[in-house]
Amino acid sequence: MFYLYVRVVKARDLPTNPDPYVEVKLGNYKGKTQRFDNKTSPEWNQVFAFSKHKIHSSTLEVSVRDKETLGRDNFLGRIQFDLNEIPTRLPPDSPLTH
């Protein structure tokens, strides 16, 4: 079984006093990192795995958000990746594994 692994490493220079977290979205599947309090340069180093057989989307979306206590969370930034442009790593010991 093949998987798409997404590692969320860190963010830098976020606005003052954010409570940041990252949302990783692939089709109907969504993952969220832990949230930090008042951190402008958080480091998550969190990995998400999506089963390739269950992927029904061609775009991976990674959003940084600021947790609000009331109402909707604030949007801080986003990047999207076309899955067709993401390299595969076969065999497992290839240079892309490091």
**pLDDT band per the 50, 70, 90 thresholds, residue 35:** very high
Indicate which CATH number applies to the domain containing 80.
2.60.40.150
Model pLDDT, residue 90: 66
Question: pTM to 2 decimals?
Answer: 0.84
The domain total for the chain is: 1
Mean pLDDT of the chain: 88
Model pLDDT, residue 55: 83
Residue 89 structural domain:
3-97
Q: Indicate the SS3 state at residue 98.
A: coil
* DSSP code at position 13: S
Rounded-to-integer distance, Cα 76 and Cα 65, Å: 5
Model pLDDT, residue 70: 83
Query: Which two three-digit tokens encode residue 87?
Result: 């390299």
How confident is the model over 8-31, as a mean pLDDT? 94
